[in-house]
């Protein structure tokens, strides 16, 4: 997706076009003059003919060539593919649509390429991520979930999109590796163990007891309440009690805590023991 940056604003001003107008025009051009041919490649149509490009619309191309980045549309395909794509788009913009060469170059790079990506490749992003989940419906990432998770990576944590995608895949592989029944640990800071609510033992846990104890003075999001005494709660939970999206979210925002987030405030898990530290 194209960002309306200050640099782009200066270019827009130079060419006498607004960002919103550019976006609308790109949508119309991509919708009217491009399509997918019988072999799965994007074709550009102008002058009464359609011309195949090197842009293959499938998950392998999205992952291996574009690396989930619209800016790689002109990097992929090598010199020949890049030149062929550029020439087709230039002929379309100049011959059929009667735009100047300078404006066409500016518009192709800053509007058409992002729109081509949004139309043909962006819908496959969540499918590619979900592939690593083994198509388990309970743990499927919707397009809205993916948008939010990538927002946390790129905006909250400062990742670039490619690194965010790879880190998210690593998180999913970690989640997949969790057993169907898992022992979990939670630290509570209380004044007395009688304050423990055994019906609702809480949401935030770790499956690494040693790390949790070693780091407990940091009192991160895993650690509940704020009394004077530290109590270690041990429970056993089925994997289907884990809140999948919240677990991913908390591991993105608090990567050092290795948190596992339970649904419904931990109701239904098996209490094992409580220890005072």
Q: Are residues 115 and 184 both part of a single domain?
A: no
Structure confidence at residue 26 (pLDDT): 93
Q: Are residues 17 and 77 both part of a single domain?
A: yes
Under the banding of pLDDT at 50, 70 and 90, the label for residue 222 is very low
Q: Of 65, 64, 63, 113, nearest to 88 (Cα)?
A: 113
* Percent of the residues in the chain that have a pLDDT greater than 90, as a whole number: 39
Q: Are residues 103 and 10 both part of a single domain?
A: yes
pLDDT in tens, 168-210: 888 888 888 888 899 999 988 888 888 888 888 899 999 888 8
Put simply, whether the predicted model's pTM sits higher than 0.85 gets the answer no
| Whole-angstrom distance, CA of residue 266 vs CA of residue 63 | 38
Structure confidence at residue 133 (pLDDT): 54
Q: Are residues 13 and 112 both part of a single domain?
A: yes
Q: Which long-range contacts (CB under 8 A, 24 or more apart) does 73-82 make?
A: 73/113, 73/116, 73/117, 74/109, 74/113, 77/53, 80/54, 81/53, 81/54
Q: Are residues 27 and 114 both part of a single domain?
A: yes
Q: Mean pLDDT, to the nearest integer, of 61-66?
A: 86
pLDDT in tens, 108-159: 998 999 999 989 988 777 655 665 555 454 577 888 888 899 999 989 999 8
Out of 101, 120, 139, pick the residue that ends a domain.
Answer: 120
Q: Are residues 79 and 45 both part of a single domain?
A: yes
- Contacts with 131 (C-beta within 8 Å, 6 or more apart), sequence order: 59
In a domain, 25, yes or no: yes
Structure token digits, residue 59? 């998950």
Q: Mean pLDDT, to the nearest integer, of 225-252?
A: 88
| Number of domains observed in the structure of the chain | 3
Structure confidence at residue 224 (pLDDT): 47
- Sort residue 219 into left (φ over 0), alpha (ψ -120 to 50) or beta: left
DSSP letters of 161-193? HHHHHHHHHHHHHHHHHS-SEEEEEEEEEES-G
Structure confidence at residue 159 (pLDDT): 87
Residue 223 has pLDDT above 50, yes or no: no
Structure confidence at residue 5 (pLDDT): 64
In a domain, 167, yes or no: yes
| Whole-angstrom distance, CA of residue 189 vs CA of residue 172 | 31
* Percent of the residues in the chain that have a pLDDT greater than 70, as a whole number: 88
Structure confidence at residue 135 (pLDDT): 45
In a domain, 1, yes or no: no
Most confident by average pLDDT, 101-105, 127-131, 139-143, 212-216: 101-105
Residue 95 has pLDDT above 80, yes or no: yes
What range defines the domain where residue 114 resides?
6-120
In a domain, 170, yes or no: yes
């Amino acid at each position: 997706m194209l960002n309306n940056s200050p640099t782009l604003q200066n270019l827009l001003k130079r060419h006498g076009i607004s960002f919103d107008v550019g976006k609308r025009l790109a949508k119309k051009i991509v919708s009217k003059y491009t399509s997918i041919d019988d072999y799965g490649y994007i074709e550009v149509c102008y002058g009464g003919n359609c011309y195949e490009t090197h842009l293959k619309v499938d998950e392998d191309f999205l992952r291996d060539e574009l690396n989930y980045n619209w800016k790689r549309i002109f990097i992929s395909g090598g010199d020949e593919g890049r030149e062929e794509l550029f020439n087709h788009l230039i002929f379309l913009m100049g011959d059929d649509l009667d735009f100047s060469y300078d404006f066409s170059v500016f518009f192709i790079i800053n509007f058409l390429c992002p729109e081509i990506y949004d139309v043909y490749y962006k819908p496959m992003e969540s499918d590619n991520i979900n592939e690593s989940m083994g198509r388990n419906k309970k743990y499927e990432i919707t397009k809205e979930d993916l948008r939010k998770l990538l927002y946390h990576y790129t905006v909250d944590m400062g990742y670039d999109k490619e690194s965010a995608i790879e880190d998210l895949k690593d998180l999913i592989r970690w989640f997949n590796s969790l057993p169907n029944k898992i022992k979990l640990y939670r630290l509570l800071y209380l004044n007395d163990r009688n304050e423990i609510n055994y019906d609702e033992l809480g949401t935030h846990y770790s499956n690494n007891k040693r790390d949790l104890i070693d780091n407990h003075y940091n009192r991160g999001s895993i650690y509940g309440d704020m009394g004077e005494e530290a109590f270690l709660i041990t429970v056993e939970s089925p994997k289907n009690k884990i809140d999948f999206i919240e677990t991913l979210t908390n591991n993105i925002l608090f990567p050092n805590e290795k948190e596992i987030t339970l649904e419904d405030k931990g109701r239904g898990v098996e209490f094992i023991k409580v220890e005072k530290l």
